[in-house]
Amino acid sequence: MAVVESRERSPLTRLQHLLHAQATIGPAVVLLVAVVVFAVLSERFLTPGNISLILQQVAVVGTLAVGQTIVILTAGIDLSCGAIMVLTSIVMAKVAAETGLPGLPALLLGFVVGTLCGVLNGVLVTRLKLPPFIVTLGTLNVFFALNLWYSGSATIRGTDMPSLLLWTGQTFTVFGTRVTYGSVMLVLLVGAMAFVLKNTAWGRHVYATGDDVEAARLSGIRTTRVLLSVYATAGLIYALAAWTLIGRIASASPQAGQTDNLDSITAVVIGGTSLFGGRGAVVGSLIGALIVGVFRNGLALAGVDVLWQTMAVGVLIIVAVSLDQWIRKVRS
């Protein structure tokens, strides 16, 4: 009984199938080409100091993008990630600075706050069945207001905090390049999340829920539980980003990271994860964040005005989403 017949494929169709099977190939090639081009354009680009700078610039948004990725894989979106991060950073820093709480409990308290913020998003999405865009647009404002209220709009200086909170900004040197612990944490986080998404039942259920929530439910997946756990985990990851943020700016500022929510979405989309859910990979989001970092840095070194850097990022987003639409049309 023949159910399948194979057909001749054109090179273009083959490329479509390749990209379909391996969504991160596209972004990886773009990153590689960008690095080569900028290295040719400016001899300062590949210097250890500059690489170190790019890694530091990417660490915060990259970490947010990991949480953003799992939310987007479920066909959701999280506009509140930056606000959760800033609120969490303020809680960690202010509690430690004012009450003299040691670094570890302050950090853990921050993780709890981040997770709770995520749980709130998850509850609103699953119980009230509101669209994630609206829920997180609302909580973005709620969390930002809480952040301004609790901080009194004042920055907490790094010198008033326990050193553990600033640890993510400290560096060690490999091959003459200074690397922050925050960047290392990002790489480990991406590795761990990639493993979980690929190798556990939970990971598969995340993809299946994003693909078609009703089909997932009929297949016996508790989709409400999956969504709740995704938003909660994302909240915890944003708290990790808060830790990295404190290290990066050596303080906790209620005004920090104002555009980081959109930047994290940009990284996820450029990294090949589909906004329609069910397709993508967390490694792609790291590459996406690096692409944005490399473009901005490389264009700046080449003496290009900031406004053109922004335009380049905009064009990348449009190209990435168009590519995703094309890949989705794959048929045997």
Partner 1 sequence: MTAVLRASGLVKRYGRVTALAGSDLELLPGEILAVIGDNGAGKSSLIKALSGAVVPDEGEIFLDGEPVSFSTPLDARRAGIETVHQSLAVAPSLDIAANLFLGRERRRKGVLGSVFRMLDRAGMREEARRQLDALGIMTIQHPGQAVETLSGGQRQAVAVARAAAFGSRVVILDEPTAALGVRESRAVLDLVLQVRERGLPVILISHNMPHVFEVADRIHIQRLGRRIAVVDPAQVSMSDAVAIMTGALEPPG
List contacts with partner 1 (CB under 8 A).
1-6, 17, 20-21, 196, 199-202, 204-205, 207-208, 211-212, 214-216, 218-221, 278-279, 330-332
Q: To the nearest whole angstrom, how small is the minimum distance from the Cβ of residue 195 to partner 1?
A: 8
- Cα torsion 197, 199, 203, 208 to 10°: value is 110
Nearer to partner 1, 13 or 171 (CB): 13
Residues 6+ apart with CB under 8 A from 269: 275, 288, 317, 320, 321, 324
Nearest Cα residue to 280 out of 197, 220, 200, 222 = 197
Specify the residue, 141 or 219, whose C-beta has the smaller distance to partner 1.
219
The CB-of-225 to partner 1 minimum distance in angstroms stands at: 12
Closest separation between CB of residue 23 and partner 1, Å?
10
The first and second tokens of residue 86, run together, are: 């800033």
**Alpha-helical segments (H) within 167-305:** 181-199, 201-211, 213-218, 223-249, 260-270, 282-301
What's the closest the beta carbon of residue 15 comes to partner 1, in angstroms? 15
Q: What is the DSSP letter of 174?
A: E
291 SS3 class: helix
Phi, psi of 79 (to 5 degrees): -80, -15
Q: How far is the CB of 7 from partner 1 (least distance, A)?
A: 11
| Shortest Cβ 63–partner 1 spacing (Å) | 23
Nearer to partner 1, 130 or 215 (CB): 215
How far apart CA 98 and CA 121 sit, in angstroms, is: 29
95 or 197, CB closer to partner 1? Answer: 197
Q: For partner 1, which is the closer residue by CB, 205 or 296?
A: 205
Nearest Cα residue to 242 out of 149, 118, 120: 118
Handedness of CA 239, 244, 245, 251 (dihedral sign): positive
Separation between Cα atoms, residue 311 and residue 186, nearest integer Å: 27
Q: Which amino acid is at 168?
A: T
Nearer residue to partner 1 within complex by CB, 3 or 307: 3
For partner 1, give the closer residue by CB, 158 or 278.
278
- Least distance in Å: CB of 11 to partner 1? 18
